[in-house]
């Protein structure tokens, strides 16, 4: 039996993060240094400094690199608390894509690569991006359509191709690039200042919570030395799963915190707003929406903790992370949608954060694998195991 009760240390840590977010971060949510493509870098650095002074910077990274070295279950607790504010994960340096990149670098990179790329990233001195997704007809939900090519040239590679929806590219210090080589899909590290990388444009999207926004990148004869190959050549898809399975889960953790914030705003409104002789919450239609929010968030939390527990036990969490991604992206979107409905006219204004949370959480149903792709993979697994069923059922 899995025991999901919190240890005394986890309870203390959760309260530390909650207190930090409420007292230090919530008052900064309206800072004007935030635009449609995320917070400005000076604002991000100020937020990171606050988290560092509170001893809460990069909670998922090992102490050797300046983090707290938390296990996955403890990260689930901390990331949910951080996600209560849209700038909480940025402040604590556990936001995408940097959080996933740190995780992969810590597991796969050479010591030299860790010193050069991971250490400043974990400290909040730099940002990064993960360049895998391509415009049609290239790789999207189907990574086998990868078109970006890295050709051997002396002691290194020459990269050509186009990537898009690359989160955080604007202002990033380096990129992790997925490209086809003669060995197969390969991950390569490159400074963003290197000749041959060009940001063609920043895409206007419905979200604004990621530093650097989402960019279209073009590689034109980008030279990358052999020492900047991440892991072994040809193992890129394998390493992508090392990154993506936990990254799906950490998205779930953060958005659970955001949905909890929207729910708190909605239930306070429902408890005070009067209509037809009583508060909104006393009307069954609104009360049931609040109850359904509680049900969805509880189910999401259980899915997250189960997957995190599997990872902490060293077990495969591929199917569990796919399930958690679908359960949470769709369940938490329902929570945000109900909160807009409960607030009525207030819900479609920017007078509260509910409008922003609703708008930004919609994209969660697409990135890191749309729900349909995960359902397709889960269905294939279900059908492959039909032969294991007992006869005569």
Domain that holds residue 257: 237-384
Q: Which of 216, 233, 250 is the last residue of a domain?
A: 233
- CATH code of the domain containing 205: 2.40.110.10
Instruction: Find out whether 291 and 266 touch, Cβ atoms under 8 Å.
Output: no
Residue 370 sits at φ, ψ, to 5 deg, of: -65, 160
Q: Check residue 289 and report its DSSP letter.
A: H
Query: Does one domain contain both 45 and 142?
Result: no
Verify that 100 and 136 share a domain, yes or no: no
Tell me whether residue 28 is in a domain: yes
pLDDT at 387: 87
Q: Is residue 340 in a domain?
A: yes
- H/E element, 230: strand 229-230
Decide: helix, strand or coil at residue 211: coil
Coil, strand or helix at 85: coil
- pLDDT at position 246 is 86
Q: Are residues 66 and 171 in the same domain?
A: no
Distance CA(73)–CA(79), nearest Å, equals: 10
Unique residue bearing structure tokens 């007809």: 137
Is the domain of 53 the same as that of 182? Answer: no
Residues with Cβ within 8 Å of residue 17, at least 6 apart in sequence: 56, 78, 81, 82, 92
Q: What is the per-residue pLDDT for 268?
A: 98
Is 180 found in the same domain as 132?
A: yes
Evaluate whether residue 392 is within a structural domain. Answer: no
Number of folded domains that form the chain: 3
Helix (H) / strand (E) containing 75: helix 72-82
Instruction: Judge contact between 132 and 139, C-beta under 8 A.
Output: yes
User: Which domain CATH number covers 265?
Assistant: 1.20.140.10
Cis peptide leading into residue 97 (ω within 30°): yes
Closest by CA position to 197, among listed 226, 159, 166: 159
Residue 2 included in any domain: no
**Are 139 and 75 contained in the same domain?**
no
User: What Å distances lie between residue 79 and 63, 211, 233, 301, 304, CA to CA?
Assistant: 18, 17, 33, 12, 11
State the pLDDT at residue 293.
Answer: 98
Q: pTM score, two decimals?
A: 0.95
Terminal-to-terminal C-alpha distance of the chain: 27
Task: Please tell me whether residues 225 and 316 are part of one structural domain.
Answer: no
275 is written with which tokens?
């209509």
Beta carbons within 8 Å of 84's beta carbon, 6+ residues apart: 18, 21, 22, 257, 258, 260, 261
How far apart are the C-alpha atoms of 174 and 212, rounded to whole Å? 13
316 domain residue, yes or no? yes
Evaluate whether 218 touches 198 at the Cβ level (below 8 Å).
yes
C-alpha–C-alpha distance, residues 132 and 148, integer Å = 9
The pLDDT tens digits of the residues spanning 304-327 come to 999 999 999 988 888 999 999 999
Q: Identify whether the C-beta of residue 322 lies closer than 8 Å to the C-beta of residue 369.
A: yes
Do the domain assignments include residue 389? no
Do 328 and 211 lie in one domain? The reply is no
pLDDT tens-digit map of 147-165: 999 999 999 999 999 999 9
- Based on the domain organization, do 212 and 281 belong to the same domain? no
Residues 327 and 366 in one domain: yes
pLDDT along the chain (393 residues), means of 10: 86 98 98 96 98 98 96 97 98 97 96 98 98 96 95 96 98 98 97 98 96 98 98 95 87 98 98 97 98 98 95 88 96 98 98 98 95 95 91 86
CB 99 within 8 A of CB 250: yes
Evaluate whether residue 391 is within a structural domain: no
- 106 and 163, same domain (yes or no): no
Specify the pLDDT at position 245. Answer: 79
Cβ-contact 338, 293 below 8 angstroms = yes
CATH number of the domain encompassing residue 52: 1.10.540.10
> d(Cα 357, Cα 218) in Å, to the nearest integer?
31
Q: Is 291 among the domain residues?
A: yes
Judged by DSSP in three states, 372 sits in helix
The domain boundary, picked from 218, 233, 248, lies at 233
Antiparallel, parallel or unpaired: β 156-167 and 214-225:
antiparallel
Domain boundary among 59, 89, 122: 122
Residue 183 shares a structural domain with residue 295: no
């Amino acid at each position: 039996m899995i025991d999901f009760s919190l240890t005394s240390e986890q309870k203390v840590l959760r309260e530390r993060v909650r207190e930090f977010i409420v007292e230090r971060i919530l008052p900064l949510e309206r800072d004007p240094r935030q635009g449609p493509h995320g917070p400005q870098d000076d604002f991000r650095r100020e937020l990171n400094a606050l988290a560092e002074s509170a001893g809460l910077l990069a909670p998922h990274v090992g102490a050797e690199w300046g983090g707290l070295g938390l296990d996955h279950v403890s990260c689930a607790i901390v990331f949910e608390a951080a996600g209560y504010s849209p700038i909480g994960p940025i402040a604590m340096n556990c936001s995408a894509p940097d959080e996933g990149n740190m995780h992969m670098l810590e597991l796969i990179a050479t010591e030299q690569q860790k010193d050069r790329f991971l250490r400043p990233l974990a400290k909040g001195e730099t940002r990064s991006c993960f360049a895998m997704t391509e415009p049609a007809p290239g790789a999207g939900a189907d990574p086998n359509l990868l078109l970006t090519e890295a050709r051997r040239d002396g002691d290194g590679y020459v990269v050509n191709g186009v990537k898009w929806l690359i989160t955080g590219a604007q202002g990033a210090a380096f990129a992790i690039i997925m490209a086809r080589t003669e060995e197969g899909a390969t991950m390569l590290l490159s400074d963003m200042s290197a000749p041959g990388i060009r940001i063609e444009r920043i895409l206007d999207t419905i979200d604004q919570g990621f530093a650097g926004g989402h960019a279209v990148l073009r590689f034109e004869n980008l030279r990358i030395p052999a020492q900047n190959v991440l892991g072994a050549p040809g193992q890129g898809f394998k390493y992508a799963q090392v990154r993506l399975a936990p990254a799906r889960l950490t998205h779930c953790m953060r958005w659970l915190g955001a949905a909890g914030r929207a729910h708190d705003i909605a239930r306070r409104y429902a408890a005070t707003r009067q209509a037809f002789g009583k508060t909104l919450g006393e009307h069954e239609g609104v009360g049931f929406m609040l109850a359904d929010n509680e049900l969805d968030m509880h189910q999401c939390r259980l899915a997250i903790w189960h997957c995190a527990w599997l990872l902490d036990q060293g077990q495969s969490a591929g199917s569990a992370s796919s399930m958690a991604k679908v359960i949470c992206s769709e369940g938490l979107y329902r929570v945000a949608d109900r909160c807009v409905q409960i607030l009525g006219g207030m819900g479609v204004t920017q007078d509260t954060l509910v409008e922003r949370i609703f708008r930004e959480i919609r994209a969660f149903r697409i990135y890191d694998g749309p729900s349909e792709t995960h359902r397709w993979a889960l269905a294939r697994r279900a059908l492959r195991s039909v032969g294991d069923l007992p006869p005569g059922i």
